[in-house]
Amino acid sequence: MPRFFVNKQQITETAVTIEKPDSVHIGRSLRMRIGDEIIVCCEGTEYVCSIGSISDESVICNIISSEISRNEPNVNVTLFQAVPKGDKLDTIVQKAVELGVTKICPVLTSRCVARPDRKSFEKKLERLNRIALEAAKQSGRGIVPQVTELISFEEAADMLAENDFPIICYECGGINLSQAGLKADSSIGIFIGSEGGFEKSEVELCVSKGAVATGLGNRILRCETAPLAALSIVMNLTGNM
């Protein structure tokens, strides 16, 4: 069944108003008709709805039933991702959303080859959030994970430390993710480096703030493979995969 995401303001007790461009998509691309059923998601709740009216401007849907999304993991995972070269961040965002990430924070670390400033990154951000939305629809998420603005290494280190389980994946080793004691119903932060990995001093700073350095095996993973491996393992260890 097609899945759409809306804001709280678009929902009343009994109905949901879907606006452009989704309304156009429903009427023209999907050629849906009055009475057809769709799923509307809002902040982790899924509403099964029946379409009551369709125009290019809006689609009004009558709520048939609602439930907390069963597809959302029981952990809140933030991926702090050092910005890689080219369009690798597109792939990382798409796959991370499928794998159940809650938020993605692009970070500028010392070994980032691509060094956009916050301003020029804003254009990219719009595309990244569009990719996150599409991946959320496609994979059946109950929320749309947000890609935040570009943050500095220091900001990332502080935000990472706010998680119940702050983890930095270090190519020069650390404990195994299985040994990190991850638990369901917790917040987990995962910090992944760019092509060149992390400076030792960066890892030390994160560890001094409470993070745990973990390795991802002896093989050298590309910077777009590492976050997907780490997320898969974290979701498995917490019973979400």
Instruction: Give the binding site for a second copy (CB under 8 A).
Output: 70-71, 73, 94-95, 98-100, 138-141, 176-178, 216-222, 225, 228-230, 232-233, 235-237, 239-241
Q: How far is the CB of 50 from a second copy (least distance, A)?
A: 23
**Which lies closer to a second copy via its Cβ, residue 3 or residue 209?**
3
Measured from the CB atom, the residue of 48 and 60 that comes closer to a second copy is 48
Q: How far apart are CA 153 and CA 150, in angstroms?
A: 10
Within 10 A of 228 (CB to CB), how many other CB atoms are there? 20
CB of 75 to a second copy, least distance (A): 12
DSSP 8-state assignment for residue 14: S
> β-pairing, 3-5 with 37-42?
parallel
Of residues 106 and 145, the one with the C-beta less far from a second copy:
145
In terms of CB distance, is 82 or 159 closer to a second copy?
82
Count, residues in the chain: 241
CB of 167 to a second copy, least distance (A): 13
Q: What is the 3-state secondary structure (H, E, C) of 87-141?
A: CHHHHHHHHHHHCCCCEEEEEECCCCCCCCCHHHHHHHHHHHHHHHHHHHHHHCC
CB of 154 to a second copy, least distance (A): 29
**Of residues 9 and 218, the one with the C-beta less far from a second copy:** 218
Residue 63 contacts residue 10 (beta carbons within 8 Å): no
- The number of beta carbons lying within 10 Å of the beta carbon of residue 231 is 26
Instruction: Give min distance, CB of 155 to a second copy, in A.
Output: 28
Q: How far is the CB of 105 from a second copy (least distance, A)?
A: 21
**Closest listed residue to residue 109, CA positions, set 174, 34, 202:** 202
Distance, in Å, from the CA atom of 58 to the CA atom of 116, rounded to the nearest integer, reads 38
Closer to a second copy by Cβ: residue 54 or 97: 97
